Amino acid sequence: MGTAQSEADVVVSVEGLRTYFYNDNRCNKAVDDVSFEIRSGKTLCVVGESGCGKSVTASSIMQLLPRLARIEEGSITFNAQSGALRIDKLDRNGRAMRNIRGGEIAMIFQDPMKSLNPVYTVGFQIAENLKYHTRLASRAIRELTIEMLGKMGIPLPEKRVDQYPHEFSGGMRQRAMIAMAMACNPRLLIADEPTTALDVTIQAQIFETMLKLKAEHGTAIMLITHDMGVVAELADEVAVMYMGKIVEGGTVEEVLRTPRHPYTKALLASIPVLGRGRNQQIEPIRGSTPDPYDRPVGCQFAPRCDYAGEKCAVMPDEEYVSFTHRVRCWKHQEVAPDE
């Protein structure tokens, strides 16, 4: 995105990434030619429906892919403190990768109960991360752990630090996960649907925390979500994914105000928006997402698309309609004509 802009503050750049899954002699192109950059202090929201490859993209950056998956092509360049690193070239269990993972790149998962170990205290699990990635003495680690929990708005952190995950509520567990992720001041935070399992009032608390961290530490955030509301509130940049490809990308203003891809446009038209009252029209997208093992030829959205034509039997290339706004559609002129 906008390669001519200053390269200095790019934290991670993904170039032509292809991650495939192999299963029963079949191949699922879960991520198929995806490129993006995230700058420090910015939030990139990746939106899409289940199965569109948004989580696989995140796992590729973290090198947390399951054994059946492989990065086939493309590059993931992470600008670490020590210089640029090609993550895709690193051994997934090697020392270099383990140094980055949890240290300079941290991740928050959707379900905090599954990602916290029930037999260790919350404090122990946060401290473990600090023990591995810093050279602090154990007393200092404990103090820092308590401080992190306090910063996340957990009441009585000095008492909570010695409690087990089951003694925490859902919102507190997620905040403990964020404390763990933020403990080493990561340059990149990947949040995979961090609030999907939580109530809206707790979601608001988590978002406040994340915004504060972004402002204070200049952390680059990659936020994976399926909620357009979250995108409108938090994103600086948006990437819309469909069946393994980024179909549209750009700043939040560009994508939400003048969607160029029929899928983005249809997605925005299919959700009720608060404040628009009872008379708003919502338009469902017809059909459903195709089976990833039995994909349509050409543009993946064509069978559900109102604009589809003969041209759409071939997958279009990415086209820049402005300096930052890119779209993968033959008919984008029809979808949103140039002003």
Partner 1 sequence: MNDQLPENILELRGLKTHYPIRGGVFRRTVDSIKAVDGVDLSVRRGEVLGLVGESGCGKSTLGKSILRLALSTAGEIVFSSENGEVDLRQLTRAELFPYRRRLQIIFQDPHSSLNPAFTIFTAFDDVLKRYGYGDKEARRAVLGDLFEAVNMPRHYIDRYPHEFSGGQRQRIGIARALAVDPELIVCDEPVSALDASIQAQVLKLLQNLRQERNLTYIFITHDLSVTEYFCDRIAVMYLGKIVEIAKSEEIFGTTLHPYTQALISAIPVADLDRKSKRIVLEGDVPSPVSPPSGCAFHPRCRFATDICRQQTPKLQPSKDYPKDHLVACHRVEELGVLGHA
265: Cα separation from own chain's centroid: 21
254 exposed, middle or buried (CB, 10 Å; 0-12, 13-18, 19+)? buried
- Residue 215 in contact with partner 1, rule: CB under 8 A: no
Give the whole-angstrom CA distance, residue 160 versus residue 53: 37
The most distant pair of C-alpha atoms in the chain lies apart, rounded to whole Å, by 68
For 130, phi then psi, to 5°, come to -65, -35
| 270 is an interface residue for partner 1 by CB under 8 A | yes
Assess 253 for contact with partner 1 (CB under 8 A).
yes
Q: Quick one: which of 47, 37, 102 has its CA closest to 235?
A: 47
CB of 279 to partner 1, least distance (A): 9
- Min dist CB 199 to partner 1, Å, is 4
- Of 42 and 101, nearer to partner 1 (C-beta) is 42
CA dist., res. 235 & res. 231, Å (int)? 5
Among 10-18, 70-78, 80-88, 249-257, which window interacts with partner 1 (CB under 8 A)?
249-257
Contact letters for partner 1, residues 300-329 (x by CB under 8 A):
------------------------------
DSSP 18-29: EEEEEETTEEEE
Minimum CB–partner distance for residue 50 and partner 1 (Å): 6
Taking CB under 8 A as the criterion, the residue among 65, 256, 321, 336 binding partner 1 is 256
Sign of the torsion angle spanned by Cα atoms 189, 124, 194, 172: negative
Interface map 220-239 toward partner 1 (x if CB under 8 A): ------xxxxxxxxx-----
Tell me the C-alpha to C-alpha distance, in Å, between residue 183 and each of 96, 100, 129, 177, 243: 19, 13, 8, 10, 34
Residues 30-49 that bind partner 1 (CB under 8 A): 49
79 or 203, CB closer to partner 1?
203
Contacts with partner 1: how many residues (CB under 8 A)?
49
Sign of the CA dihedral with 255 first, then 259, 265, and 268 last: positive
Shortest Å distance, C-beta 45 to partner 1: 11
Q: Given strand 69-80, what is the order of strands in its sheet? A: 26-39, 10-23, 69-80, 83-86
Should residue 65 be labelled a site residue for partner 1 when binding is judged by CB under 8 A? no
Q: Which of 132, 257, 297, 333 binds partner 1 (CB under 8 A)?
A: 257
Q: Write out the residues near partner 1 by the rule CB under 8 A.
A: 49-50, 155, 169-172, 199-205, 207-208, 226-234, 252-253, 256-257, 266-268, 270-278, 280, 282-286, 288-289
